[in-house]
Amino acid sequence: MATEKFKEASPYVRPKPSPPSEDYVYNRYLTNLALKTDSRDPVVKLALFGVGRVGTIHLTSIMCSQRVKLLYIVDDVESNWQKMERYWHLENVTFLSSKQSDRVYQDPDVDAVIVASPTFTHENIVGKALKARKAVFCEKPIADNRGNILTCYEMAMRVGRPLFCAFNRRFDPSYSSVRDRVRQGEIGHVHMIKTVARDSPLPSIEYLKTSGGIFHDCLVHDIDVITWVLGEYPDKVVVLADANIPEIKEIGDFDTVAVTLHFPSGTLGTIDLSRNSTFGYDQRLEVFGPKGMVQVDNEQPMHSVRRQYGVEGPTANPIWYSFASRFADGYRRELDHFVDIVLDKAESLVRPKEILAVSKIATACEESAHTGKVVELKWDGGELPYPQ
């Protein structure tokens, strides 16, 4: 009786509530439910180069998208072709080895290529695809050094086709929400930004041997996140690094890296990087300023399940095990963004000068790790990330 006075009109006669933007899965579902099509949106026809760890993720995103059609798969493990065809029902896809890949470039039906082959193959595939006027989605890094990345972007400019570098963390809903909050001034001028990036599972030594080293293979993700959140590049970096895993030491690489960055506006950044986290894919971001702090913590897929036995207190659920699960949504969203770029519906959110800057900073970090010295970075006006 006491609450009767709070009775409201029927929900059927009140305005329908909207789902929160945070429920991005439901919002995507609503788009699918609405079945709206745009007659200006042709299906983007693709060729996928490399179906290994990350290529399988992109293949999964392709299979989930109604906006693309896969015409070719290029991969040298021919023994997998039939299995892939059966598993994914790819009867209309042509399988080629890298030696036969000219067919992709010569086929006028191919609008775009996705490059998910080993890093040392990127520059060659990117160059040939752009020359054939295909749009390109390329896994990081586009090439092994800044000069070669610049050559690829110059070629993209010359032929007027997009070259998109796949920094997937930018498309993760939590990371992009932190960036939006920082950019809206929620914490004021940033005093400290930190990332923790610990890989899981440990990549194979075969992969590491051709990865280009931890700075250009792994650290680039963190440098990209930090500079993308801040909209600023560091003027000093100092790095300590070591290899605790003998096989990694043997190939002259590092598995444990601590980076400190200084930014001209007074912000400090740190990156805590490891190749081998045994408790799952440990990926965190923290941004601190005079008004407070915003963080991305690790997600636990079974967080709603609570277990408590004996007297030892509750048992925590594991975090996501690896990039394929932690960033599954980000990978789908980055493919969707690429399709928008190809269809001229969006400008690339990943800009060439940002990618060139990330490579320059990664090289400075590598130098600092080898020399033990603070490395200073100079930027000319054209390199800076403004206007945003």
Residue nearest to ligand NAD (CB): 52
| Interface with ligand NAD, residue 78, by CB under 6 A | no
| Interface with ligand NAD, residue 142, by CB under 6 A | no
Among 61, 117, 277, 359, binds ligand NAD (CB under 6 A): 117
How far is the C-alpha of 291 from the C-alpha of 297, rounded, in Å? 19
Q: Which of residues 313-342 bind ligand NAD (CB under 6 A)?
A: 323
Answer for the pair 137, 113: CB distance below 8 angstroms, yes or no: yes
Q: How far is the CB of 49 from ligand NAD (least distance, A)?
A: 4
Interface region with ligand NAD, contact rule CB under 6 A, candidates 14-22, 111-119, 359-367, 368-376: 111-119
Among 116, 156, 182, 339, binds ligand NAD (CB under 6 A): 116
| Interface with ligand NAD, residue 74, by CB under 6 A | yes
Q: How far is the CB of 199 from ligand NAD (least distance, A)?
A: 9
Name which of 201, 212, 226 is nearest 326 in CA terms.
201
SS3 state of residue 177:
helix
Q: Count residues binding ligand NAD (CB under 6 A).
A: 24
Among 75, 232, 255, 282, binds ligand NAD (CB under 6 A): 75
47, two tokens: 């060729």
Q: How far is the CB of 115 from ligand NAD (least distance, A)?
A: 8
Give the contact letters, 189-208, x = binds to ligand NAD (CB under 6 A), - = no: ------------------x-
Name which of 348, 330, 353 is nearest 338 in CA terms.
348
For the chain, what's the residue count?
388
CA dihedral 276, 282, 283, 284 (to 10 degrees): -130
| Interface with ligand NAD, residue 139, by CB under 6 A | yes
| Interface with ligand NAD, residue 277, by CB under 6 A | no
Residue 142 carries which DSSP code? S
The full DSSP string for 21-78 is: TT-HHHHHHHHHHHT---TT-PPEEEEEE--SHHHHHHHHHHHH-TTEEEEEEE-S-G
Return the exposure string of 93-112: e unless at least 16 CB atoms fall within 10 Å of the residue's CB, then b.
bebbeeeebeebbeeeebbb
How far is the C-alpha of 19 from the C-alpha of 6, rounded, in Å? 24
Q: How far is the CB of 73 from ligand NAD (least distance, A)?
A: 9
Walk across the sheet containing 94-96 and list its strands.
94-96, 68-74, 44-49, 112-115, 135-139, 163-166
Q: How far is the CB of 54 from ligand NAD (least distance, A)?
A: 4
Give the contact letters, 42-71, x = binds to ligand NAD (CB under 6 A), - = no: -------xxxxxxx----------------
How far is the C-alpha of 77 from the C-alpha of 98, rounded, in Å? 10
| Interface with ligand NAD, residue 173, by CB under 6 A | no
Q: How far is the CB of 35 from ligand NAD (least distance, A)?
A: 31
Answer for the pair 178, 295: CB distance below 8 angstroms, yes or no: yes
Q: How far is the CB of 8 from ligand NAD (least distance, A)?
A: 48
Among 61, 119, 174, 176, binds ligand NAD (CB under 6 A): 119
Helix or strand (DSSP H, E) at 271: strand 268-274
Identity of the residue, 182 or 350, whose beta carbon is nearer to ligand NAD in the bound complex: 350
What backbone torsions phi and psi does residue 7 show, to the nearest 5 degrees? -55, 140
Give the contact letters, 210-229, x = binds to ligand NAD (CB under 6 A), - = no: -------x------------
Q: How far is the CB of 9 from ligand NAD (least distance, A)?
A: 50
Contact positions vs ligand NAD (CB under 6 A): 49-55, 74-77, 98, 116-119, 121, 139-140, 166, 168, 207, 217, 323
